[in-house]
A and B are shown apart, each in its own frame.
Chain A
């Protein structure tokens, strides 16, 4: 199967999920908490004409206040810790957090040092982990789907309707 067909197939499933849960679209805010910028290359690739995730109802937004989900990359550096917390707090509930890339999952090659805090889940609650260095765009789409399945439970807990 070519990449295009693969994406088309995944995208349809994704679109159905988004329609069921959100009615129309899922808004994502990407936060770089200290990555090496490889994950950003792949997140940007999601918007190119080959993947074009916007057609499946995913929109990458400019502010956390508009977002349903945070996509966090990088081992949380000492200097980005506060900015990440502020971004998380600015995102309205119920919210999803996906940790993208090995560093965001557990600190990766940078681990825990004087400058790097390790995985994202040490600082904010994480719903789904997307491993890879960097994960391929297909993996990111799959990760988003897994995260979406978790949302109904979350809504049940908080009682807030999207």
Chain B
């Protein structure tokens, strides 16, 4: 019984760590700020959430597990809001899209 939960927890931990690593690789590789936000918001958040689920599976509903759930849910709720705020500020601050971009319907609305 306990060993199954341990194995599941290890799998979740590895998946989470891999996703966080991929997110940071995306931060390095992608060309402009909006694409980088795609990488860090989605992959980084789901990776952190996976690690928190791994902790809950390992320790159960002790104070540590409950706090891990809280941290995971908080990250999942606030990451989209932070991404939206910083993308809007960057676009209004004058950071252009990268040169591969094909269309920009937002730029002409606020000038």
A is bound by B: no
